[in-house]
Amino acid sequence: MLDDTARATPEHHLLRYFGHGSFSPGIIDRAKGSSVFTEDGHELLDFTSGQMSAILGHAHPEIVATVREQVGRLDHLYSGMVSRPVLDLAHRLVETLPEPLEKVMFLTTGAESNEAAIRLAKLVTGRHEVVSFARSWHGMTQAAANATYSAGRAGYGPAAPGNFALPVPDRFRPDIVDGDGNLDWRRQLDLGFDLIDAQSVGSLACCLVEPVLSSGGVIDLPPGYLAALRDKCHERGMLLILDEAQTGLCRTGDWYAFERDGVVPDILTLSKTLGAGLPLAAVVTSAEIEREAHERGFLFFTTHVNDPLPAAVGNTVLEVLARDRLDLRARKLGELLRGGLNELAERHSVIGDVRGRGLLVGVELVDDSGPGGDGADRLGAAVTRRCAELGLHMNIVQLPGMGGTFRIAPPLTATDAEIERGVAILDAALADVTGRAAT
């Protein structure tokens, strides 16, 4: 038996993995719908969908039923064996995608799917250089971590050669502007590739990006940018890989974020939302790329590749999303959420920007006070704590020199009332922390 002290202290035995952060206060006991509950009965409205994953909320009854049935029938297999849930999920997933995306492999995490995608691209192109955004997050495995620039690079030795960063087209904080002071993303993109071309040893393999940079501050790529990026890639013989870990499967109001721009990637990676909170990821590509990779001896498998239990859950997720038209629901709730947040921005001067798509929304705080101009960092941390005390779980993205951006992603199954309650709690937390209700 553990004594009460050990039970109450996460730091007693758990390795801390948040960099300089810490575990959230309270021990979570259960979760249901849009809320999680601590052992002492405190309810937290979950505006991050767990780790940006639980798009159907917590303990969705159909997912619960699927897990109960499937785990008693078939849960795990030898990596070379194939089960009916995997075949069904591959077919169902491909039906949601445009041509030529038709070949699928199922994995466990987003990092794994990005690792496999980069490996595919390197083998098929015969090259090794990888381009990604300067505020990217693609995972913590080797190739995915090398393509990640928002955090985690310092202190771990040299990164793999041939990784290049593109400037982020941030319209709120533009670095290259036109005559009106607005972001000139075409000139920025041209300059970015000029620098990449100058550094490349002639071995550009792929470009890996999110359509909406989530950990990078919820930066929605400007309309037209993704098509221009695709053209830059194809001019150089590179493959375009889109990481839709957080944007895929209805969260942005479309089934896939790339649909808005009419750009079909060479390789698509999915994770988080595909399992709606359970560990399920996918790599999807064309028959041509798959055939070329196979002929060259493509090798990538894990202990849980194409496992039947998470695949069965994935089938249920896709069925619920399509049946309940949760793409349309995400648009409707997103409009409600953005409307409420825009009202807060009018009354709280510390809100500098509200942005995003569907139910992936960013609220950037601005405050240049304090030593080093880090007022927004301290403000964001304080507001996050106050939100938790008032019953709202929020996540703040804090990047050096960029203030703090709340990354808001409630479940697609949230009610109108829950969205309004979350906005009201954020309003109260901002007022409490800044010492004024509005300005």
pLDDT of 375 reads 82
272, 355, 357, 386: the catalytic one is 272
pLDDT of 436 reads 62
pLDDT of 3 reads 59
As a whole number of angstroms, the distance between CA 106 and CA 103 comes to: 10
pLDDT of 19 reads 78
Q: 130, 238 in Cβ contact below 8 A?
A: no
User: Catalytic residue at 119?
Assistant: no
As a whole number of angstroms, the distance between CA 382 and CA 370 comes to: 14
210, 307, 367, 418: the catalytic one is 210
pLDDT of 25 reads 84
Segments in the chain below pLDDT 70: 1-8, 370-374, 399-403, 436-439
pLDDT of 57 reads 98
As a whole number of angstroms, the distance between CA 417 and CA 437 comes to: 22
Per-residue DSSP letter, 303: T
As a whole number of angstroms, the distance between CA 387 and CA 227 comes to: 39
129, 230, 236, 246: the catalytic one is 246
- Among left, alpha and beta (phi > 0; psi -120 to 50; other), residue 253 is left
- Locate CATH 3.90.1150.10 in the chain: 4-60+325-434
* Three-state secondary structure call for residue 397: strand
As a whole number of angstroms, the distance between CA 48 and CA 210 comes to: 18
User: Catalytic residue at 246?
Assistant: yes
As a whole number of angstroms, the distance between CA 14 and CA 8 comes to: 12
- Locate CATH 3.40.640.10 in the chain: 74-323
Q: 214, 357 in Cβ contact below 8 A?
A: no
* Three-state secondary structure call for residue 165: strand
Q: Which of 362, 414, 422 is nearest to 392 (CA)?
A: 422
Mean pLDDT of the chain: 94
As a whole number of angstroms, the distance between CA 48 and CA 277 comes to: 11
User: Catalytic residue at 51?
Assistant: no
Structure tokens of 85?
């849930």
Q: Which of 232, 108, 217, 112 is nearest to 168 (CA)?
A: 217
Report if pTM > 0.85: yes
The burial class, CB within 10 Å (0-12 / 13-18 / 19+), for 401 is exposed
Structure tokens of 166?
């593109």
Handedness of CA 281, 248, 246, 41 (dihedral sign): negative
Instruction: Please give the CATH topology (third level) of the domain spanning 4-60+325-434.
Output: Aspartate Aminotransferase, domain 1 (3.90.1150)
184, 243, 244, 307: the catalytic one is 243
**For the chain, percent helix, then strand, then coil, each to nearest 5?**
40, 20, 40
pLDDT of 20 reads 73
> CATH number of the domain at 74-323, please?
3.40.640.10
103, 232, 236, 407: the catalytic one is 407
Structure tokens of 208?
């890996």
User: Catalytic residue at 210?
Assistant: yes
70, 135, 137, 338: the catalytic one is 137
As a whole number of angstroms, the distance between CA 343 and CA 340 comes to: 5
Q: 67, 313 in Cβ contact below 8 A?
A: yes
Structure tokens of 128?
């090794």
